[in-house]
A and B are shown apart, each in its own frame.
Chain A
Amino acid sequence: MGSTIAEKILGAHAGGSPVKAGDVVVASVDFAMVHDARAANALKMMAKLRGGHDDVALPFAARTAFVLDHYSPPPNMEAANTHVAMRAFADAHGAILYDVGDGICHQVLPEGGHLTCGDLVVGTDTHSTTYGAFNALGTGVEGTDVSAVMMTGKLWFRVPETIRVELKGRLAPGVWAKDVTLAMLGRLGAEGANYRVLEYCGGAVAAMEIDDRMTLANHAAELGAKAAILDADERTFAWLKAHGARAPKPVRADADARYVERIDIDASTLPPQVAHNHRIDDVVGVPEVKGRKIGIALIGTCTNGRLDDIRQAVAILKGKRIAKGVRMIVTPASRQVYLAAAREGLIEALTAAGASVEAAGCGTCVSITGHLITGDGEVVISSANRNFKGRLGNPGSEIWIGSAATVAASALTGYITDPRTVEGGEWRPETGTDRNRR
């Protein structure tokens, strides 16, 4: 019997013997991440593990990133003090620090060259699945876990079952990885892949640029997945090389690997999707949504705040004005994304169109910084990943989740709009041209 990608990666990190779904292994980790929203707990657990002995060495600190992204900027003294503690801890132990404004953990880790194909990466965030876009096994953990990794370089894992998802055909212009995941959520339900790994394959995945692949892997968190992993190809290798990553150790599933489920999706017939009614798995095709007026349009987050998302928005909004009465905020996922967008004139185009561009970070995903609180009855369309009631500070508002294309098209018209019906809404990234610019 063959092995899945997850079984191979965990086996290779747990001494090399074959492992199968259901086994529990102690595996060596390649890289770890702690972000500010969970850092207070992680530092507490770290102190407990070291038993009050500050001189206990943390050999893995040099392979751990501390990322100040959720509280950017800190909304209160407590969060600011967490940042102070994180900076001091990173400095004392040689951990890698990404400060406020540098960007979101899941963007800065790959951009920083911290991971490569075949790696095992843990982070204190459910969207750590993002690293699967690079053929790495990335998964979310808590403070105790990451403390154990920082001290020993290892962690226990239950080897997960895998669902193989084949995306056949090609996504139509105006349709993105975001729409694929939303369609999957409509089909499987939130947590429909709980504890499982999603292996995405097929022509539509191979045709995706890295930015879109990152969305696909990232958004698997909403399906409850432990990880989502894509095959590596020349595009992956080129991207990793351009960002200074270690030499890739690509891992492919065996033809006779055992899957708990196989899902085939015809990508070519999929229309843009949106989630609504305060549920990420209450999903409809955008063409079915008629006359839904919006007040706020948001592009950003670890799910869809990358350069191609911003380029798509500009393709729709350049030289135009967003609808009267609509407030639009764009938050680049990282400083590098922001810089690239600035160099391409995208920041100027968005600002001229009536949008506000904010400093890189988790931004408007969740109201914890307080810089976006919605009013009663306000309707939001967002490229974020969650739309729980009250996520933007007011249970009396509603959040619709869609692609950056759908958000930009909706900002233009003032109503939830199929991007394929507006000029520029069918923009596609040009493959192979200047794709790896930092």
Chain B
Amino acid sequence: MNDNIMNIRGRAHLLGDGVNTDIHCSSKYLPGRDNAYVAQHAFEQVAPGFASRFKPGDVIVAGRNFGINSSREQTVQVMRLMSAAAVVASSFGRQFFRNAINNGLPVVECDISGIAEGDAIEIDLAAGLVTVVGRGISREVPPLPREVQAILAAGGLIPFLQRHPDWKLA
């Protein structure tokens, strides 16, 4: 993981539009398989070799409606196990977006055109900036709201509430 969750640098690994993470990154259809197994085979059907290419601190870059239809928190726990630093996508399925933040995984809604497999990508969450220096890409995104930043900084909703049981931000 990055030392500072608000500033992320990693290699981009691409996925397409409409990736259903219940199917491709959970054991919903692999009964009895644990997170470690799922992490080794994540997204295999939609991006062969994805898990073996993916290194700790890398970034998932996906198309529209990433995590569509998904309600499983396990998906994010698997991505944390893969040490994904963040997910950048054109748009997210709503429950996936919630689950990511609740489990301490930064998610950034951003135009992904021009970003290629293996690109070095930088994300400044507080400022709201996605940069791919090698391709001259620098895109502004809405900065994450203060509350969401605080939950991410704490590592997720549970550690956040253990520190702030009244939801009050310092």
Contact = CB atoms under 8 A, between A and B. Distances in A.
Interface on chain A toward B: helix, strand, loop, or mixed SS? mixed
Contacts of B165: 151-152
A144 B95 contact: no
B158 A24 contact: no
B158 A49 contact: yes
A174 interface: no
A253 interface: no
Given A126-B71, A144-B102, A156 B147 contact: yes
Interface in B138-170: 142, 145, 147-148, 151, 156-158, 161-162, 165-167
B149 to A, nearest CB: 10
A163 to B, nearest CB: 14
Contacts of A22: 142
Interface in A337-389: none
B21 interface: no
A156 B99 contact: no
Contacts of A145: 98, 102, 157
A158 B91 CA distance: 14
B65 A194 contact: yes
A26 interface: yes
A24 B73 contact: no
A325 interface: no
A154 interface: yes
Nearest to A41: B73
A194 B68 contact: yes
B68 A144 contact: no
Interface in B82-134: 91-95, 97-99, 101-103
B69 interface: yes
Contacts of A142: 71-73, 95, 98-99, 102
Contacts of A190: 69
B74 interface: yes
Contacts of B69: 190-191, 224
**Best-surrounded residue of A156, A195, A224 (most CB of chain B within 10 A):** A156
Nearest to A192: B65
Interface in A168-227: 190-191, 194-195, 224, 226
A224 B91 CA distance: 12
A224 B71 contact: no
Nearest to A196: B94
A432 interface: no
Nearest to A226: B94
A73 interface: no
B141 to A, nearest CB: 13
Given A144-B157, A156-B151, A191-B65, A49 B162 contact: yes
B74 to A, nearest CB: 7
A148 interface: yes
Contacts of B103: 144
Interface in A217-260: 224, 226
Contacts of B161: 49, 148, 151-152
B94 A26 contact: no
A80 interface: no
Nearest to B165: A152
Interface string A131-160: 000000000111111011001101010100
A23 interface: yes
A48 interface: yes
A433 B20 CA distance: 45
Contacts of A158: 97, 145
A26 B71 contact: no
A270 B119 CA distance: 50
Contact of B147 (A24, A125, A194): A24
A59 to B, nearest CB: 11
Nearest to B164: A152
Given A41-B74, A51-B162, A194 B145 contact: no
B93 A191 contact: yes
Contacts of A45: 73, 158
Interface in A14-70: 22-26, 38, 41, 45, 48-49, 51
Contacts of A195: 91-92, 94, 97
A143 B74 CA distance: 10
A223 to B, nearest CB: 11
Q: Which 10 A-B pairs have the closest CB atoms?
A: A24-B145, A144-B102, A195-B94, A142-B73, A26-B167, A49-B158, A24-B147, A144-B157, A191-B68, A142-B99
Interface of A: 22-26, 38, 41, 45, 48-49, 51, 124-126, 140-145, 147-148, 151-152, 154, 156, 158, 190-191, 194-195, 224, 226
25 contacts: A24-B148, A38-B71, A49-B158, A49-B162, A124-B71, A141-B95, A142-B73, A142-B95, A142-B102, A143-B73, A144-B99, A144-B103, A144-B157, A145-B98, A151-B161, A152-B161, A152-B165, A158-B145, A191-B18, A191-B93, A194-B68, A194-B91, A195-B91, A195-B92, A224-B93
Given A144-B102, A224-B94, 16 more contacts: A49-B158, A49-B161, A51-B162, A142-B71, A143-B73, A144-B73, A156-B157, A158-B145, A191-B65, A191-B93, A194-B68, A195-B91, A195-B92, A195-B97, A224-B65, A224-B68
Interface of B: 18, 65, 68-69, 71-74, 91-95, 97-99, 101-103, 142, 145, 147-148, 151, 156-158, 161-162, 165-167
